[in-house]
Structure 1
Amino acid sequence: MSLNDSERRVLSGMRPSGRLHLGHYHGVLKNWVRLQHEYDCFFCIVDWHALTTEYADSGQLSQHVMDMAVDWLAAGVSPSSATLFVQSQVPEHAELHLLLSMICPLSWLERVPSYKEQQERHSGKDLSTYGFLGYPLLQAADILLYRAGQVPVGADQLPHIEFAREVARRFNHLYGSEPDFELKAEAAIGKLGKKVGKLYSNLRKAYQEQGDAEALETARALLKEQTSITLGDQERLYGYLEGGGKVILNEPQPILAEFSRVPGLDGQKMAKSSGNAIFLRDSDAELEEKLRRMPTDPARVHRDDPGEPQRCPVWSLHQLYSNDEQLHWVIEGCRSASIGCLDCKSALCSSLQTELTPLQQRAFDYEENPDLVRSILAEGAERARDEARNTLAEVRMAMGLNYR
């Protein structure tokens, strides 16, 4: 895979913990549905990651995986536009994780910000395991295995992407050198042609001697356009440009998506663990019951007390689901007390049902045909394995594990 192709590839994953809620839908899935038509997308249900914290309670894991797959498909993630698969069905994830663990300094894992944060969050569980300590490296292996150039994340996940970049950089530093590397790189420059070769050399010199970052980007763009050299020569020239060796594992870049913060029933961030979630497959009765008990503007003690929508969690959901006409009706009705809180909630319920009903019908169809879901995941795993095997072949060869 060329570095140019890598930039068109996206890898993202989710831990299976049960059915998905509106926070997942607006925060992740809608973004995936858009990305699948713009990039070569690999979406992974990371069941091994789930075991890093839930290893003592894995009885429902297989059902959680199926629930997640159904919700993805119902939300519009398409097996014809993206590769959907389960992490544990691609054992190459484990092998690359093992090989990378040989070169990953222990201190790198201990300094990952989420290590202590997650320990505090799961304080009632024994997380003094290697699996928990090493999960950022497993996450890095997930990304590097597919040589994904882009990873959609929120700002809180940026340290994990930087960690994956550091691991790739260390691997390339240790194993990217080859006999006569500089001679082969200079020979590759000659294959670019006199004019392009001279431009590449000048840009390389400007970057290495003066730290000219613009020259580095220009040289990278120049290499992407070259069709007269082999992939091996292209990788050598990328490495030579930066003063290193051959690029074997690509350094991923984050796609900082605008992850919508969806308020839960209590006005705080929606989360299953907080008990404030509206699930994508909640029935009409469940939805009505949840909305009925939502807190509202504390100033509206009585039906005829005027209120302020900005102080009400129900208003935040209206902003996501209601049209302009309805939003105006809520503002005017609440401030003038011409509508009650139950009227407001009833209108929101109708708006939510309008969006969720077609999604729930698709989910029902997949629930009724679990063999189809398993088939989609199996086909996705086969495609993922094809890509993973290619990466591991190069990794093994670089590490001297090629015995054929």
Structure 2
Amino acid sequence: MRIVSGMRPTGKLHLGHYLGVLQNWVKLQNEHECFFFVADWHALSTSYEDKLNLKHLSIELVRDWIAAGIDPTKATLFIQSAIKEHAELYVLLNMITPLGWLERNPTYKDQLAQIKNKDIHTAGFLTYPVLQTADIILYDAEAVPIGEDQRPHLEIAREIVRRFHHLFLCEVFTEPKELLSPVPRLLGLDGRKMSKSYNNAIYLSDTSEEVWQKIRTAKTDPQRVKRSDPGNPEVCLIYDYHKAFSDEEIIKKVEEGCRSAAIGCVECKKWCAASIEKVLEPMRERRQSVSDEDIAIILQKGEEKAKEIAGKKMERVNKAIFELQCKDHT
């Protein structure tokens, strides 16, 4: 299958991104034809006031991808804004997308209610599902890896495709299917959602010293006051990190040792940091091996491939709309 997926360049990636997205991308690139893009235009839908250095953040995002195991010889990597056909198709799809479809989007309504520190009452935020649709169908994506909460977005994309085909009597696009993938939830070190704004994340680019300092100060079982107090690992954040990164032997030692007070929290945290190090150390090596020049070459090759596919698709789209030509019906 052809797979299309993207990430917004709004900051450094953390362990939550690795578990929730990148691990799955690495698996998919070995099984399917994958297009992974930096969604810099999408970043503007909520962060236009933040004056982000999107060029720098885009390069660093790709560096994190490569560090996490994304292979540019297996997957096509590119920056969204380098392929102007995304914007062209976005404009055209906006012309035919009913306003009610967008206003009923549950994510749109939820974020309007929850996000109070930013002005997101913009046309760009309302219509970002249309841009997502353009991103996907421009490359005839057969499937899109999503979590359960993103299903409404993909259904909007399918509805837009059907509406286009109905209006212009032309089967131009592939209707994308959902590729549901479990998204492991890893909370931040203070028990809240892992986020740079909360300063509670372990980043893929952190040094071993930074990882240990963050793990060392993380919350544990609040009932375990003294070293001799037995604990409950199920209410301890560090145990969640063990389940995500440690092997079965360590997890068993933590569970039994915590409940019996055979181990202390410091010892448990040291094991946790060591397990995370086994994941991050290879990333540091891969990150150091790729230069800005290497990334520029990778993106150039990816953008050339994406541009060729997108250009051919837009030729068909424009003929269907402006010349009423459809080879499917001639």
TM-score under structure 2 length normalisation: 0.95
- Structure 2 stretches lacking a partner, 5+ long: 326-330
Offset at residue 401 of structure 1 (A): 4.9
Count of residue correspondences: 325
Deviations 1:252-291 (A, max 9, x none): 1100011111232123442333332111111111111111
1:252 aligns with 2:183: no
Q: Secondary structure in 1 aligned to 2:50?
A: coil
Q: Secondary structure in 1 aligned to 2:35?
A: strand
Which of the numbers 323, 333, 350 marks the counterpart of 2:257? Answer: 333
Deviations 1:123-177 (A, max 9, x none): 222222211111111111101111111000001000000000000000000112x
The residue number in structure 2 matching 1:348 is 272
Which of the numbers 2, 8, 13 marks the counterpart of 1:15? Answer: 8
Which of the numbers 25, 45, 62 marks the counterpart of 2:55? Answer: 62
Which of the numbers 29, 32, 45 marks the counterpart of 2:25? Answer: 32
The residue number in structure 2 matching 1:361 is 285
Work out the CA distance in 2 between the residues paired with 1:86 and 1:248.
24
The residue number in structure 1 matching 2:83 is 90
Work out the CA distance in 2 between the residues paired with 1:274 and 1:59.
18
Cα pair 1:85 1:380 within 8 Å, conserved: yes
Residues 32-181 of structure 1 mapped to structure 2, 5 A cutoff:
32-176=25-169
Q: Secondary structure in 1 aligned to 2:322?
A: coil
Which of the numbers 292, 308, 315 marks the counterpart of 2:216? Answer: 292
Cα pair 2:68 2:283 within 8 Å, conserved: yes
The residue number in structure 1 matching 2:196 is 272
1:320 aligns with 2:313: no
Cα pair 2:143 2:176 within 8 Å, conserved: yes
Work out the CA distance in 2 between the residues paired with 1:145 and 1:300.
55
Q: Which stretches of structure 1, 4 residues or more, deviate above 6 A after TM superposition?
A: none
Offset at residue 402 of structure 1 (A): 8.4
Work out the CA distance in 2 between the residues paired with 1:150 and 1:274.
33
Q: 1:364 to 1:121 in 2, by over 3 A?
A: farther
Residues 211-222 of structure 1 mapped to structure 2, 5 A cutoff:
none
Work out the CA distance in 2 between the residues paired with 1:59 and 1:311.
37
Offset at residue 117 of structure 1 (A): 1.7
Offset at residue 388 of structure 1 (A): 0.4
The residue number in structure 2 matching 1:378 is 300
What's the % identity of the aligned pairs?
Answer: 48
Deviations 1:89-108 (A, max 9, x none): 00000000011111111222
Deviations 1:344-402 (A, max 9, x none): 10111111112210111111222xx1011111112111100111011101100000258
Work out the CA distance in 2 between the residues paired with 1:122 and 1:49.
17
Deviates more, 1:266-275 or 1:47-56: 266-275
The residue number in structure 1 matching 2:233 is 309
The residue number in structure 2 matching 1:391 is 313
Residue type at the aligned position of 2:95:
M
Work out the CA distance in 2 between the residues paired with 1:319 and 1:56.
38
- Structure 1 stretches lacking a partner, 5+ long: 1-7, 177-245
Deviations 1:222-263 (A, max 9, x none): xxxxxxxxxxxxxxxxxxxxxxxx421121110001111123
Cα pair 1:18 1:63 within 8 Å, conserved: no
RMSD over equivalenced CA pairs, Å = 1.5
Work out the CA distance in 2 between the residues paired with 1:134 and 1:322.
42
Work out the CA distance in 2 between the residues paired with 1:324 and 1:128.
48
Work out the CA distance in 2 between the residues paired with 1:92 and 1:71.
26
Residue type at the aligned position of 1:51:
L
TM-score under structure 1 length normalisation: 0.78
Cα pair 2:37 2:80 within 8 Å, conserved: yes
